[in-house]
Amino acid sequence: MRLMISGGGTGGHIYPALALIEALQAQDPTAEVLYVGTHRGLESRIVPERGIEFKTIKIQGFKRSLSLQNFKTIWLFLKSVGTARRYIKAFKPDVVVGTGGYVSGAVVFAASQMHIPTVIHEQNSVVGVTNKFLSHFVDRIAISFESARSQFPEKKVVMTGNPRAQQVVNIKRTAALQALGLADDQPTALIFGGSRGAARINAATLEAIPELNQRSYQTLFVTGQVHYDQLMAKLGETKLAANVKIVPYIKNMPAILPEIAAILGRAGATSIAEITALGIPSILVPSPYVTNDHQTKNAQSLVDAGAAKLVKEADLTGASLLAALDSLMLHADARESMAAHAKQLGQPAAADQLLQVLESVVKR
């Protein structure tokens, strides 16, 4: 199979694409892949590191208010469609897949106009603007949450789950905690606000450090690279006990997840896929700054199933963070119950199911 795939801007669009590529190459080592992204997006660094052929187009998103920049956006979209057509003609893909972000809009739209089989994948419970636009042109739409189904043309929708889930479900325990200076025989809470960190989560955690120092469980606090120096300066004279570790970033986050007893973090699509695939209890603090508050809706799907707790960012303080962590970390039975419910929501064959969708549109 010759696969052209596009998704960019955030890890939530990029990592499912990479998981799908990994599954395809495991199934068919002769498969050829071309990834199309932007030169400024996170994908421009992550994708080439994986040894995947990568090309770029220039595009930007619409401003939500009236702005002359929107005329430039339209011009860039039309120009990027032309660039995408040239890439398609040169690569000759069997199928073109979009995983979200403005860049996928131009690539998948161009492919649909050239009568190339097309599929989009929606990771969230609330459909993104690009995928809503593309839904009118593509052959199939793969979803990760049932609540997204009604937001698309019904006949095109297939429930596959998030390919990221399959990528992490078979990860084995390593000595990842020991490598960070923590014990591997104590329950460990991971506090993680996403790849760039989250200021409110960081502030609440910093406030809770003196109490976390005294807990019987361990805390691994990932601040995000851009926040680390400032946070450590604010920590000042406060000493860290042996059970608390603060780091700016963990390059291979999935490798550490099997050793984590509970997570406190955001409710992005990638996080949800990882949490449910591995059956990890979670305290979710949805970002209020995302489109249509989709992280709250993502989180609520887990809460409704007994698989997570939800704390609104506006309610997050050092005290509420500590109380939420203690409710899980000091009660193994609560963690076990939540883990079981999370596992029931897992999608361990999501990438294979999405591959089946690709094969079905190619054969049409």
- Binding residues for UDP-N-acetyl-alpha-D-glucosamine, by number, are 10-12, 124, 195, 250, 295
In the chain, helix, strand, coil percent, each to 5?
A: 50, 15, 35
Report how far residue 207's alpha carbon sits from residue 163's, in angstroms, rounded to the nearest whole number. Answer: 36
How many of the other CB atoms lie within 10 Å of CB of 247?
13
* DSSP structure string for 271-300: HHHHHHHHT--EEE---TTSGGGHHHHHHH
Query: What are the structure tokens assigned to 80, written together?
Result: 């990027």
CA-only gyration radius of the chain, Å: 21
Strand order in the sheet with 244-247: 244-247, 218-222, 188-192, 262-265, 282-284, 308-310
Annotated binding site: 10-12, 124, 195, 250, 295
Report how far residue 74's alpha carbon sits from residue 108's, in angstroms, rounded to the nearest whole number. Answer: 16
Number of H helices, E strands in the chain: 15, 13
Residue 34's Cβ-side half-sphere holds a number of Cα atoms within 13 Å equal to 19
Report how far residue 153's alpha carbon sits from residue 136's, in angstroms, rounded to the nearest whole number. Answer: 8
Which residues 6+ apart lie within 8 Å of 233 measured at CB? none
Report how far residue 143's alpha carbon sits from residue 162's, in angstroms, rounded to the nearest whole number. Answer: 8
